[in-house]
Structure 1
Amino acid sequence: MNESTIDLQEISKFEQHAKDWWDPDGPLKTLHDINPLRLEFILMHQSLGGKKVLDVGCGGGLLTEAMARKGANCMGVDAEKNVIEVAKSHAASQKDLALSYHSVAIEDVQDENFDIVTCMEMLEHVQHPELVLQHSARVLKPGGWLFLSTINRSLKAYVGVILAAEYLLGLLPKQTHDYNKLIKPSELAQFVRDADLNIKDMKGMRYNPFLRTAVLTSDVSVNYLFACQKSE
């Protein structure tokens, strides 16, 4: 497992939007819109109070902070240094949250005692997503949970996420997603099994760009989430 998961081209995409991370109406507004649902999905399976959590590819810390507000002791990691500085700056303005941020990739995390690991909206932006899964399993304690969220490599996703969201509606910056790096649920399921994790739940996410709301669904043709557990 000496290969790097870092994709420098992907990092440069988010570097230019680092300052906008916490703007709910900015270029990354869809992340703000879906964040409550991501948190809801986690809480469907695990409480967060007192849990030790690693947020991989944390960006500016939207999900990291949300989990910390639920009582988790959170560490966020991201290979993009500028967004980590944004996350640290925003966290400094929050009171009584157990938060730390580090500009490292998952393969450089040494602590192997996390109750929960999250990889949300990041697997489609890395090299070797299967390695992210293997390292996530490594840092989880026995019985720990891994939560994943990504985008299906499907015609519906190409039309909805890339053509419509990026080019027609301007919901996301252009070239945010590379269609060839999107991941089919069957592929992600194999990565999970190869990491010796067990899939406990899979849900689709349907986003309404006009109402700016998201709901869980059984349709995994575009956005979808996995809940996985490491054996005891």
Structure 2
Amino acid sequence: MNQNTNVDPAELEKFSSLAHHWWDLESEFKPLHQINPLRLGWIDGLAPLQGKQVLDVGCGGGILADSMARKGAEVLGIDLATKSLRVAQLHALEASTPNIQYREVAVEALAEEKPAGFDVVTCMEMLEHVPDPGSVVRACAQLVKPGGWVFFSTINRNPKAYALAIVAAEYLLKMLPQGTHEFDKFIRPSELAQHAIDAGLVVDSAKGMQHNPLSGRYWLSSDTSVNYLLATRRPLR
């Protein structure tokens, strides 16, 4: 798929219209703020971020990118939602976040510009929002240095995920705006792993992310039936 067409304008508009809420801890983005320490800890545990060159693909308002910079990484966050990027840049200025930059560029275009340019690439909660997730995975694989790590997170495609990630989260509990997710765009772990293997990456490990709506607690587990994270590496040769 052409790098300039691997974007859904409706998805961009959806997130752009919410851009001013990115750093409101009680907004639609509250779940992302709540899970961010888990994501950050998991990434930093496998690929210590201090001193690393890190790319965050689909960075949105910069929640993960900002926290990785504060762990000592040199971070570039990229997205195609202009308003979200402006919010990310403004937050970095206001919070005096060190070693962070943001760019409005497609990941496929950046892969041509900076092949093997990063020690760590993260692509979280983004693949379920693009027309061709395989293209994004291939670009991430091109962007990471040999021996480097690529981390993904997305949502499984099965009846349980539909019930929890759409019906419960969007309609019953109203944790997310209605229409945030489309079931047909969810990705099974086996499908994501195959995309990674096809792109030349080696699958290292997977974790599930679970949530108790009564206590509000999130935690990582071996249950990948709904939200899950996948760690992959680019071989040294």
Tell me the TM-score normalised to structure 2 length. 0.95
| 1:105 corresponds to | 106
Is contact 1:42–1:147 with CA below 8 Å preserved after alignment?
yes
| 2:19 corresponds to | 18
**Matched position secondary structure for 2:149:** strand
User: How many residues end up aligned between the 2 structures?
Assistant: 232
Deviations 1:28-66 (A, max 9, x none): 111111111110110220100110000000000000000
Residues of 2 paired with 1:100 and 1:194: CA distance? 30
Amino acid at match of 2:94: S
Residues of 2 paired with 1:226 and 1:89: CA distance? 30
Q: CA deviation at 1:214?
A: 1.3
Q: CA deviation at 1:167?
A: 0.5
Is contact 2:66–2:97 with CA below 8 Å preserved after alignment?
no
Residues of 1 paired with 2:31 and 2:212: CA distance? 10
| 2:10 corresponds to | 9
Tell me the TM-score normalised to structure 1 length. 0.97
Amino acid at match of 1:30: P
Pairwise mapping of residues 50-199 of structure 1 onto structure 2 (< 5 A)?
50-95=51-96, 97-109=98-110, 110-112=113-115, 113-199=117-203
Q: Which runs of 4+ in 1 moved over 6 A?
A: none
**Matched position secondary structure for 1:107:** helix
Residues of 2 paired with 1:97 and 1:210: CA distance? 36
| 1:204 corresponds to | 208
Segments of 5+ residues of structure 1 without an aligned counterpart are none
Q: Which moved more, 1:176-185 or 1:37-46?
A: 37-46
| 2:46 corresponds to | 45
Q: Which moved more, 1:28-37 or 1:1-10?
A: 1-10
Percent identical pairs in the alignment equals 49
Q: CA deviation at 1:215?
A: 0.8
Amino acid at match of 1:2: N
Residues of 2 paired with 1:210 and 1:52: CA distance? 38
Residues of 1 paired with 2:187 and 2:90: CA distance? 33
Q: Which moved more, 1:201-210 or 1:27-36?
A: 201-210
Residues of 2 paired with 1:212 and 1:61: CA distance? 23
Residues of 1 paired with 2:136 and 2:47: CA distance? 21
Q: CA deviation at 1:96?
A: 5.2
Determine if the alignment matches structure 1 residue 228 to structure 2 residue 228: no
Amino acid at match of 1:169: L
Is contact 1:117–1:136 with CA below 8 Å preserved after alignment?
yes
Residues of 2 paired with 1:185 and 1:21: CA distance? 28
**Matched position secondary structure for 2:145:** strand
